[in-house]
């Protein structure tokens, strides 16, 4: 059992970075396994699994951290390499404000694919799985085009339909095409995107999603609030 006065550094999804955390509970589970026995003795492998329930000192967010090491997974100095996982998975990019949209007590994105895929892309980005993030962005954009315009049979035809139906403008078409190409190149041409390129692609993707799903409704709501011109 942990002393709740213990404070450690850990990642906070709500604060979007490393902060001080109170240790509410911890469990350490060492393990060892005999893999062979001979005239020279017993040969074993081993490791340890540590679990901590943490509470952010800044925002009170609760997370579980798992730290593990394995005796055969070592660095250049022969020391075990610790692996760290968070539950829920760690993210570092702040979701756009419109993704938190509510109408009364109803969450407007409930069961929608956009927040689900965006969250998975953020996790891949934080975990430095940049190729997976690029593929996720491509999949998210493809589903968006099909969701709004139906499947026209190809990316280019879907893109044209999105423009022709007024969801995006001509400049956004070029930006969207380039962003899709990042995913194509990662899947088909062994392209290795950088984190800077993924962040740029995410900026474009989130802007496209806002234009397709959010801005039209926001503009309509704004229009209702504006008093009409006097005749």
Q: Beta 62-70 vs 83-87: how paired, if at all?
A: antiparallel
Taking the chain, what is the end-to-end CA distance rounded to the nearest angstrom?
74
List all residues 6 or more positions away from 95 whose beta carbon is below 8 Å from its beta carbon: 115, 118, 119, 122
Q: How far apart are CA 137 and CA 143, in angstroms?
A: 10
What pLDDT does 223 receive?
58
Q: What is the pLDDT of residue 106?
A: 41
- Who contacts 77 (Cβ-Cβ below 8 Å, separation ≥6)? none
Whether residue 80 contacts residue 67, with contact meaning beta carbons closer than 8 Å, is answered with no
Encode pLDDT of 4-35 as tens digits: 568 999 999 888 889 999 999 999 999 888 87
Q: Among 124, 149, 88, which Cα is nearest to 199's?
A: 124
pLDDT beneath 50, residues of the chain: 102-107
Burial string for 49-83 (b: 16+ CB within 10 Å, else e) reads ebebbbbbeeeeeebebeebbbeeeeeeeeebeee
pTM above threshold 0.75 = no
C-alpha radius of gyration, the chain, whole number = 24
The per-residue pLDDT for 34 is: 85
What pLDDT, on a 0 to 100 scale, did the predictor assign at position 108?
62
Domain 97-225, architecture per CATH: Up-down Bundle (1.20)
* Domain extents in the chain: 7-87, 97-225
């Amino acid at each position: 059992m942990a002393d709740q006065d213990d404070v450690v550094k850990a990642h906070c999804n709500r604060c979007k970075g490393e902060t001080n955390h109170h240790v509410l509970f911890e469990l350490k589970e060492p393990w060892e396994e005999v893999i062979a026995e001979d005239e020279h003795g017993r040969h074993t492998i081993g490791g340890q699994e540590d679990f901590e329930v943490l509470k952010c000192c800044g925002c009170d967010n609760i997370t579980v951290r798992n730290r593990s090491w394995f005796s055969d997974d070592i660095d250049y100095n022969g020391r075990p390499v610790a692996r760290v996982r968070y539950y829920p998975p760690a993210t570092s990019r702040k979701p756009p404000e419109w993704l938190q949209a509510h109408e009364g007590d109803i969450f407007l994105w409930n069961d929608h694919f956009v927040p689900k895929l965006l969250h998975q892309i953020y996790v891949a980005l934080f975990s430095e799985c940049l190729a997976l993030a690029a593929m996720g962005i491509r999949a998210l954009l493809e589903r968006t085009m099909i969701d709004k315009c139906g499947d026209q049979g190809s990316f280019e035809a879907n893109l044209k339909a999105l423009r022709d139906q007024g969801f995006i403008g001509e400049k956004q078409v070029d930006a969207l095409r380039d962003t899709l190409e990042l995913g194509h190149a990662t899947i088909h041409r062994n392209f290795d995107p950088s984190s800077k390129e993924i962040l740029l692609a995410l900026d474009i993707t989130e802007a496209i999603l806002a234009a397709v799903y959010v801005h039209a409704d926001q503009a309509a709501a704004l229009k209702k609030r504006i008093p009409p011109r006097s005749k």
